[in-house]
Amino acid sequence: MRHSDNSNARSSSGSPHRIVVFWLIGVVAVMTLLLINRSLVSAIGSDADALHGIPRNPHEYHLRGDASLVADGNSNSNGDMSALPASTYLQNFELLSQVDIPAPKLEIPSSPAPEKTYSSIIFVKTYKTASTTVAMILNSIAFKLRLNCLHPTKDGWFKENELKDRARLGHRFDVSFRHMTPVLELEPLQELLPDSLITTIMRDPVTKFNSMFNFVQTTRAHYGTAMNFVNAVKEGKASVKEKNDLCNNLAYSISGSQTSLADLNYQESKDYAEKMIADFESKDVFVMIMERMNESLVVMCERMGWDCYSGALSFKNTVERQNKQAGTVKCNDEECKKGIKSVNEVDWMLYEYYKEKLDAIIKTIPDFETKLKKLGGNMEKSAANAQKYPVNCFERINPDRPEFEAIHTCQGRT
């Protein structure tokens, strides 16, 4: 009987346990069904988005204090970026899927520290960006301030190791504004021009492409239209030289490498642009924007401590020569623009980032609008820029032109 009582006791006491177990199993089953359903909905959404080339849950990027680019996951779980400020996006950048690419976010401190001023300047020329105009402006300023300008020793371009050799000889200069070929070598340049502001200039990649396409007449004659060239690039039919001239040419020119950037896919382009931005930030490189030349010049003058407003320095913002030859190719429709962007993704990301960076810098300059107006008035009143700089530096100064040639010697500062 005792055994029976114990058995009954276990039986009666086990019933609630079984109920709890069954209840828990039921809850788990319901949750499992809900998770499966949610996963199916998510998968269907992801597959549908993938078919249309829409990335799920994109991220914006911003610069950390160490100048590296890091993901800032401010988008919500559905990939909806509508809550983020529009200024954080590359407004005009589209892949062929017509998806906006998140822009690097520039965080502006509420009380920014004063920008450092420099005693010399390295202007890195790029192609079809009005960089010759900037060079002529720097030449005019150099003439007025008696600054020594760096030029090749012969043939109009710097030979391999020329900059290194001249740096070892102790040559020192104040201004550099010539094309650097075959690659940009910043280390010897910074030795030749100590305490230098490094600056360059960028332009909308679509208009830059059109200008370059029309300038390289053999390419224009061969392909006829911009879209024919874009298709040839994607089909692997364009030559390496043609691609380097027209695909990410800006980044290629200032990369310091002869490695082609023409065949990068989107992720590779994004990675390359981020690394280049981080490198430029670490070197305090100032990037001018061709379409906003006067604003860029104000920033340059501020960074150099130059009075570009009172008339003490005279220079002109000359207009780029227009190609009016018969057969000039134009790219005005959206499909053509989109095609050009698709083979210039690095350049496009750099351009959009530095447009926004220029706005950020402008906000740190006191009385910027007043200075901009004065600079514009100064340029309107100025005569043409100073006499064009020489093709090569002068080994000896011509006594008939000592004032001009003295700032263009091969030895520089003596």
- Do 378 and 300 belong to one domain? yes
- Mean pLDDT, range 346-361, rounded to an integer: 96
In a domain, residue 335? The reply is: no
- Do 374 and 304 belong to one domain? yes
Residue 105: predicted pLDDT: 52
In a domain, residue 82? The reply is: no
- Structurally, the chain folds into a number of domains equal to 2
For the chain, give the percent of residues with pLDDT over 70.
Answer: 69
Residue 16: predicted pLDDT: 55
Residue 122's alpha-carbon distances to 17, 190, 295, in angstroms, are 81, 8, 19
Q: Do the Cβ atoms of 277 and 104 come closer than 8 Å?
A: yes
For the chain, give the percent of residues with pLDDT over 90.
Answer: 61
In this structure, of 92-96, 329-333, 400-404, the range with the lowest mean pLDDT score is 92-96
In this structure, of 86-95, 124-133, 363-372, the range with the lowest mean pLDDT score is 86-95
Residue 70: predicted pLDDT: 32
- Do 194 and 289 belong to one domain? yes
Higher-pLDDT residue of 237, 27: 237
CA 257/CA 185 separation, integer angstroms: 9
Q: Which domain holds residue 221?
A: 205-273
80-92 confidence digits (pLDDT tens): 333 333 233 333 3
- Do 193 and 148 belong to one domain? yes
- What is the band of 188 on the pLDDT scale with cuts at 50, 70, 90? very high
Last residue of a domain, one of 240, 273, 306: 273
pLDDT at 171 over 70: yes
- Do 268 and 230 belong to one domain? yes
Q: Do the Cβ atoms of 283 and 197 come closer than 8 Å?
A: no
- What is the band of 314 on the pLDDT scale with cuts at 50, 70, 90? confident
Residue 34: predicted pLDDT: 55
In a domain, residue 406? The reply is: yes
In a domain, residue 20? The reply is: no
Last residue of a domain, one of 215, 249, 273: 273
- Sheet with 60-63, side-by-side order of all strands: 69-72, 60-63, 104-105
Residue 76: predicted pLDDT: 34
In a domain, residue 221? The reply is: yes
Residue 91: predicted pLDDT: 36
pLDDT at 258 over 60: yes
Please list the residues that pair with 71 across neighbouring strands: 61
Please provide the distance, in angstroms rounded to a whole number, between the alpha carbons at the two ends of the chain. Answer: 119
265-289 confidence digits (pLDDT tens): 999 999 999 999 999 999 999 999 9
- What is the band of 307 on the pLDDT scale with cuts at 50, 70, 90? very high
In a domain, residue 60? The reply is: no
- What is the band of 193 on the pLDDT scale with cuts at 50, 70, 90? very high
- Do 148 and 243 belong to one domain? no
- Do 289 and 392 belong to one domain? yes
pLDDT at 191 over 80: yes
